[in-house]
């Protein structure tokens, strides 16, 4: 809602009201809505064109138990805003981006690795060409990443496990400014830093039992900004902890040949939003599945959100929250030629 364009909105008592009726999570109404009263508003974006060109060199080196990957890329970016109009503007940018990877294999089943990479992404033509609408001008997004980890294979290479420690720095990130007068207004954060640890396990514990699991603990926060009050704030929609596990079991008994079951759970921890007073709660969602294979046919049934847990997968403020799907099921039939 932009107060300057109030005539384009449905108003009541001086405030805009939803163009589409609310969906009541407690008493849902699945009838078809009457859309003749909807207000349709169009917005125009200036035509633009962009070019990306690059030169890349890479070398992979192996010496005994060590391997190294060295890469360097020179990229050139050209944006044309208001393309083929009298007000056309040309913006050129360039960046030299390195990439380094090291692997040490002390044992056949174990590998230790380290990675360093940088990133560069110019802001889009829309943000460059329309500062009155989006704010700006904005600096390009730059980033760097460090990662150290270990990988191993167990049970005769049927099960793979990985643990990694990482740090990611991103500079000049654009995010919604949360402006009531201009919902498209953007704000540029000086620097965001994310540090954490991830664990992944995938493979077959038994010939008829496969498992896929991952868990991550991280802290993503603002570490630099012109507004010192923002330093130390956690990134919106970035949980400190999240994880999932999925297991699939196939019956071996002759009378149950082709039948399999699966079960899983997903956990997401508490998250901040753009509104300091609003914290999204943690949630745990369960999933179940049933499979049956016969000849070349496969029949599957999935039950998602088994316990019909009300949860929020993301959001910006009290007016923009995104609920997760309620209990639902999916039936699939496949045929292999």
Q: Average pLDDT of 330-335?
A: 94
d(CA 237, CA 234): 9
Q: Give long-range contacts, CB 8 A cutoff, 24+ apart: 63-67.
A: 65/104, 65/105, 65/106, 66/102, 66/103, 66/104, 67/102, 67/103, 67/104, 67/105
Q: Are 288 and 303 in contact (CB under 8 A)?
A: yes
Q: Average pLDDT of 205-213?
A: 93
Which two structure tokens, joined as six digits, stand for 306? Answer: 């088994």
CATH fold of 49-235 reads Maltoporin; Chain A (2.40.170)
Domain boundaries, given as residue ranges, for the chain: 49-235, 236-336
State the pLDDT at residue 175: 78
State the pLDDT at residue 5: 59
In sequence order, what are the beta bridge partners of 142?
Answer: 120, 171
Q: What is the DSSP letter of 270?
A: -
Could you report the per-residue pLDDT of 16-62, keeping only the tens digit for each?
666 666 667 678 777 777 777 666 666 677 788 888 999 999 999 99
DSSP SS3 for 203: strand
Q: Average pLDDT of 8-19?
A: 62
């Amino acid at each position: 809602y932009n107060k300057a364009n109030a005539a384009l909105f449905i108003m009541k008592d001086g405030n805009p009201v939803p163009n589409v009726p609310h969906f009541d999570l407690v008493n849902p109404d699945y009838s078809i809505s009457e859309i003749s009263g909807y207000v349709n508003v169009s917005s125009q974006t200036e035509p633009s064109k962009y070019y990306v060109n690059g030169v890349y060199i890479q070398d992979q080196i192996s010496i005994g138990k060590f391997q190294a990957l060295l890469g360097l890329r020179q990229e050139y970016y050209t944006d044309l805003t208001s393309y083929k109009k009298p007000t056309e503007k040309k913006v050129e940018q360039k960046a030299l981006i390195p990439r380094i990877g090291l692997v040490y294999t002390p044992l056949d089943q174990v590998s230790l690795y380290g990675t360093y990479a940088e990133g560069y992404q110019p802001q889009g033509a829309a943000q460059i060409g329309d500062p009155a609408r989006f704010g700006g001008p904005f600096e390009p997004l730059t980033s760097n990443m460090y990662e150290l980890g270990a990988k191993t294979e167990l049970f005769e290479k049927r099960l793979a496990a990985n643990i990694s420690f990482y740090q990611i720095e991103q500079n000049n990130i654009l995010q919604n400014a949360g402006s009531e007068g201009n919902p498209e207004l953007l704000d540029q954060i000086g620097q965001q830093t994310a540090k954490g640890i991830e664990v992944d396990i995938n493979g077959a514990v038994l010939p008829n039992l496969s498992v896929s699991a991952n868990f991550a603990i991280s802290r993503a926060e603002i570490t630099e900004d012109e507004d010192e009050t923002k330093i130390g704030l956690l990134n919106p929609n970035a949980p400190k902890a999240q994880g999932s596990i999925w297991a699939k079991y196939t019956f071996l008994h002759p009378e149950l040949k082709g039948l399999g079951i699966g079960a899983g759970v997903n956990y997401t921890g508490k998250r901040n939003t753009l509104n300091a007073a609003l914290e999204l709660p943690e949630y745990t969602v369960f999933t179940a599945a049933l499979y049956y294979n016969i000849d070349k046919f496969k029949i599957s049934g999935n039950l998602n959100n088994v316990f019909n847990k009300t949860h929020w997968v993301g959001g910006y403020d009290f007016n923009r929250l995104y609920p997760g799907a309620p209990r639902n099921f999916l039936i699939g039939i496949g045929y292999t030629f």
